[in-house]
Amino acid sequence: MNSMRRSGQSAVPPVRSKDRFLVFGAPEIAEAEIDEVVASMKARWLGTGPKVARFENDFKAYIGGNHAAAVNSCTAALHLSLVAMGLQPGDEVITTPMTFCATANAIIHAGGTPVLADIDPVTLNIDPAALAARVTPRTRAAVIVHFAGRPCDLDAITTLCERHGITLIEDCAHAIETQYKGVHVGTFGRYGCFSFYATKNLTTGEGGMVIARHRDDVDRVKVLALHGMSKDAWKRFSDDGYKHYDVVACGFKYNMMDLQAAIGIHQLARLEQNWLRRQQIWQTFDRELAGTGLGLPAPARAHERHALHLYTVQVDPARCGLDRDSFMNGMSANNIGVGVHYRSLVEHPYYRERYGWQGGDVPVAFEVGQRILSLPLSAAMTDADVADTITAVKRVLARP
Ligand SMILES: *Cc1c(COP(=O)(O)O)cnc(C)c1O
């Protein structure tokens, strides 16, 4: 049947031609941010400055958080949060296996030992019962991920963390627009960490943000983000005279540039508009792909606002007649770019060797990680891009 399908495919041209390859995660960029970057260049203030301060204020207001620190990635935001909370070598930090490697790497760089708790098969978020089962006397923190933009079960998780004195850190890389019971995520934990990487819902090229409830917590992050210096460069070089700085911690070089904030300010202004466009695309996928055999994302619950970051589907070979990787090859052959978010962390040799992780530790995430992939979803997509994606899915599944 495979060879028949392959020969059948070669007879028809791909859904899109090679020169119109649909790039996965293409950002939506407008003149407003292009002009703002050019203005920053002309003003000759490239590094951390007034635009970073404005972006922090705008973002904090959007999220409804108390304090914000802009940094150069979400990875940096996670690392800084874990260092700022005072994580010590050997402290255990519970996290999800269904995430990008940066979540676990930040824990390791901060001196912690990552401990995996399995996911819920419907939401694909960390399962609060699995989290509870992994708590030991050495558990200091939990880093949760609002996967694809769907909020975690925050009532259960915050209760659990309070009961055991565990610091909660939210990886909100997918979840800028996400709300739980009407409140933005990133404000439930001690720190909320956001990403503005090129494929995320809001991009600054590279960039990130820490949201914190307490001033002391964000002040500590800001000092650590710039070498551990007591005063940032913006203030050092201001026009009311040179001021000495003191190094008060062994910090990092994680600050955001004005060039990045120049993009972010305008991306943020269009965030909700872009969310609405992705919602249209999401609903079209839900409607058109029902009955194809693909496993589709579960609908958001009434008290949840989904950020609609990733439209993940699952390829069950028993229902689809092919596996995830063959399906992806079929999409690529039709010049539709797809992504994998994610193979579970236990599949990577580094963690297997260092921590002895295996699929059986987190069976749900392990299985999902072999079936899941993400279809293209971006506000930059045209109706034709959406239609081509649907046509390609049906063709690859041989269900035209
Ligand atoms: C993208 C991503 C990160 C890392 O973000 P960067 O800004 O690229 O450092 C961390 N966690 C998750 C879940 C992500 O998707």
Å from CA of 257 to ligand 1 middle: 18
- DSSP class of residue 20? G
CA atoms within 13 A on the CB side of 13: 5
Å from CA of 147 to ligand 1 middle: 11
Å from CA of 75 to ligand 1 middle: 6
Do 92 and 141 fall within a single domain? yes
The neighbouring-strand residues paired with 168 are: 142
User: What is the average pLDDT across 225-253?
Assistant: 81
> pLDDT per residue over 177-195, tens digit each?
999 999 999 999 999 999 9
Do 16 and 43 fall within a single domain? no
Catalytic residue among 60, 200, 222, 394: 200
pLDDT above 80 for 347 = yes
User: Which ligand 1 atom is the nearest neighbour of the CA of 75?
Assistant: 9
DSSP-derived 3-state class of residue 54? helix
pLDDT above 70 for 234 = no
- What are the distances in angstroms from CA 372 to CA 209, 313, 365, 392? 28, 6, 10, 17
Domain that holds residue 328: 2-26+271-338+376-396
Predicted confidence at residue 282, as pLDDT, reads 98
Predicted confidence at residue 243, as pLDDT, reads 78
Do 14 and 99 fall within a single domain? no
Q: What is the tally of structural domains in the chain? A: 2
The CATH number of the domain where 332 resides is what?
Answer: 3.90.1150.10
| Contact yes or no for 12/187 (Cβ under 8 A) | no
> pLDDT per residue over 39-59, tens digit each?
999 999 999 999 999 999 999
User: Which ligand 1 atom is the nearest neighbour of the CA of 174?
Assistant: 15
Predicted confidence at residue 244, as pLDDT, reads 85
- What are the distances in angstroms from CA 46 to CA 36, 74, 133, 227, 265? 12, 21, 48, 18, 15
| Contact yes or no for 68/211 (Cβ under 8 A) | yes
pLDDT above 70 for 9 = no
User: Which ligand 1 atom is the nearest neighbour of the CA of 200?
Assistant: 1
Where is the domain boundary, 237, 253, 269? 269
Predicted confidence at residue 400, as pLDDT, reads 63
User: Which ligand 1 atom is the nearest neighbour of the CA of 102?
Assistant: 10
Predicted confidence at residue 259, as pLDDT, reads 98
Q: Which amino acid appears at position 284 of this protein? A: T
For the chain, percent of residues with pLDDT exceeding 90: 92
pLDDT above 70 for 152 = yes
> Which of the listed residues 71, 73, 74, 194 should we mutate to test ligand 1's pocket, taking the one with most ligand atoms within 8 A of CB?
74
- Pick the range with the lowest mean pLDDT from 3-17, 35-49, 115-129: 3-17
Å from CA of 336 to ligand 1 middle: 23
pLDDT above 50 for 12 = yes
Residue ranges around ligand 1 (CB below 6 Å): 73-75, 99-100, 102-103, 145, 171, 173-174, 195, 197, 208
Dig out the tokens for 204 from the structure. Answer: 């600054």
Predicted confidence at residue 241, as pLDDT, reads 74
Q: Characterize 176-196 residue by residue with b for buried, 16 or more Cβ atoms within 10 angstroms of its Cβ, and e for exposed.
A: bbbbbeeebbbbbbbbbbbbb
Do 67 and 140 fall within a single domain? yes
Q: Whose CA is nearest to atom 15 of ligand 1?
A: 173
pLDDT above 80 for 381 = yes
Helix (H) or strand (E) holding 95: strand 92-95
**Backbone phi and psi for residue 94, each to the nearest 5 degrees, phi listed first:** -85, 135
Where is the domain boundary, 218, 234, 269? 269
200 is a catalytic site residue? yes
Q: Whose CA is nearest to atom 2 of ligand 1?
A: 173
Predicted confidence at residue 85, as pLDDT, reads 98
Taking each helix axis as running N to C, give the angle between helix 215-225 and helix 74-84, from 0 to 180 degrees, rounded to the nearest 10. Answer: 120
Do 130 and 212 fall within a single domain? yes
Do 147 and 278 fall within a single domain? no
Do 8 and 51 fall within a single domain? no
> pLDDT per residue over 247-262, tens digit each?
999 999 999 999 999 9
Which residues, 6+ apart, have CB-to-CB distance to 133 below 8 Å?
117
> Which of the listed residues 72, 95, 103, 256 should we mutate to test ligand 1's pocket, taking the one with most ligand atoms within 8 A of CB?
103
CA distance 355 to 363: 17
Q: Average model confidence (pLDDT) for the chain? A: 95
Q: Characterize 86-122 residue by residue with b for buried, 16 or more Cβ atoms within 10 angstroms of its Cβ, and e for exposed.
A: ebeeebbbbbbbbbbebbbbbbbebebbbbbbbbbee
Do 22 and 44 fall within a single domain? no
Which residues, 6+ apart, have CB-to-CB distance to 321 below 8 Å?
1, 293, 397, 398
Predicted confidence at residue 230, as pLDDT, reads 87
CA distance 92 to 78: 15
Do 199 and 313 fall within a single domain? no
CA distance 261 to 33: 9
Helix (H) or strand (E) holding 388: helix 383-396
Do 69 and 211 fall within a single domain? yes
